[in-house]
Amino acid sequence: MSLPKVLFLMGPTASGKTDLALQLFDRVDAEIISVDSALIYKEMNIGTAKPDAQTLHDYPHALVDILDPTESYSASDFANDAKVLIDAAHQKGKLPILVGGTILYFKALAEGLAKLPEANPELRAEIEADAAKLGWPAIHARLSELDPLSGVRLGENDQQRIQRALEIVLMTGRSIEEFWQQQSVLEHPWDIVPMALMPSDRAVLHRRIELRFELMLAQNFQAEVESLRDRGDLNLNLPSMRCVGYRQMWQYLDGDFDANEMRMKAIVATRQLAKRQMTWLRGWQGAVVVDSMDQKLLDKSLELIA
């Protein structure tokens, strides 16, 4: 007997994943599970491009608005939660559609997490001290020399992951990717159908990213971040406030740069995120790549599901 299926609908930011998931929901007996490390947070709506309340009512998304911005959520947490939701969907005879751009969450669910060395507080403190003096881009450059794959995978300001990857390579002489490659293959009671929504024209994707951020500004993204700052319990060291767009707006409100520079920094950071997401997806073995700009995208997606 064939195992029940799980659709992984993956792709870079602004590639149209959510719109496609909604169209599939209308045509397939399915449940949507969000795979997005920003959508998990309450009070963060505009800057995360979260579907509006009416859309979430009509098209329920699991794992959206589940945490306060002060809280953290790991890839392991996601994998554990997603397994429960997938099994529940299958018990109701529905197809789980996992949609999002947090590729690490997808990999944690599909492949499990490697057993990594325990943290070294002294080495971690040294890295943080160097970052305070030189800046995180310099630490990222150092990581890129020792672990080129992590350098490509991580952005210059992805502080937590840069620190961890550099810590591991300095402790062991091995890249974090080597540990991942040695992990045992997980066996699931379901078949994963990995679908990568990839744009054929990167310039169009870049324009979509720019237009989407302009829309966020028009929707008063600044007021959303001001409200978060006014709470008094959030700061830029928290994972929630390190999300693309929120960091740049927070720094603008701190007076670090003007509005035009904030806009450009946020757009560039989002483009860099999309580039990293596409790099991950190109390395996903067995993924069915579908052009996100194809006029027959929905039909081809339904064929894949069938």
Q: In one letter, which amino acid is 52?
A: D
Evaluate whether 195 touches 7 at the Cβ level (below 8 Å). yes
Instruction: Give the orientation angle of helix 259-282 with respect to helix 246-253, to 10 degrees.
Output: 160
CATH 1.10.20.140 holds for 121-181: yes
Q: What is the mean pLDDT of the chain?
A: 92
As given in the structure block, the two tokens for residue 80 are 């554990």
Give the closest residue to 280 by CA, choosing from 111, 95, 45. 111
- What is the DSSP secondary structure assignment for residue 70, as one 8-state letter? T
Determine the Cα–Cα distance for residues 115 and 183; give it in Å rounded to an integer: 7
Question: What are the Cα distances from residue 269, in Å, to 13, 232, 245?
Answer: 11, 26, 8
CA atoms within 13 A on the CB side of 31: 18
Question: What are the Cα distances from residue 257, in Å, to 148, 254, 278?
Answer: 31, 8, 30
State the pLDDT at residue 179: 78
Give the closest residue to 15 by CA, choosing from 44, 32, 45, 36. 36
Residue 180 has pLDDT above 80, yes or no: no
Q: Which H/E stretch holds residue 34? A: strand 30-34
* Residue 110 main-chain phi, psi, to 5 deg: -75, -40
State the pLDDT at residue 1: 56
State the pLDDT at residue 2: 85
Determine the Cα–Cα distance for residues 159 and 178; give it in Å rounded to an integer: 21
**pTM over the 0.85 mark:** no
As given in the structure block, the two tokens for residue 268 are 């560039």
Determine the Cα–Cα distance for residues 132 and 130; give it in Å rounded to an integer: 5
What's the CATH superfamily of 5-113+183-305? P-loop containing nucleotide triphosphate hydrolases (3.40.50.300)
Long-range interactions of 229-237: CB distance < 8 A, separation 24+:
229/253, 233/70, 234/69, 234/70
Whether the domain at 5-113+183-305 and the domain at 121-181 fall into the same CATH topology: no
For residue 95, the cross-strand partners are: 30
Q: Does residue 96 sit in helix, strand or coil? A: strand
Domain residue spans in the chain?
Answer: 5-113+183-305, 121-181
Q: Model confidence over 130-157: pLDDT tens digits?
A: 988 998 899 999 999 999 888 887 878 7
Go through 102-113 and write b for each residue having 16 or more CB atoms within 10 A of its CB, e for each that does not: bbbbbbbbbebb
Q: Model confidence over 59-105: pLDDT tens digits?
A: 999 999 999 999 999 998 999 999 999 999 999 999 999 999 999 99
Mean of pLDDT values over 208-220: 97
Q: Output helix, strand, coil percentages for the chain, rounded to the nearest 5.
A: 55, 10, 35
Quick one: what percent of the chain has pLDDT higher than 70? 98
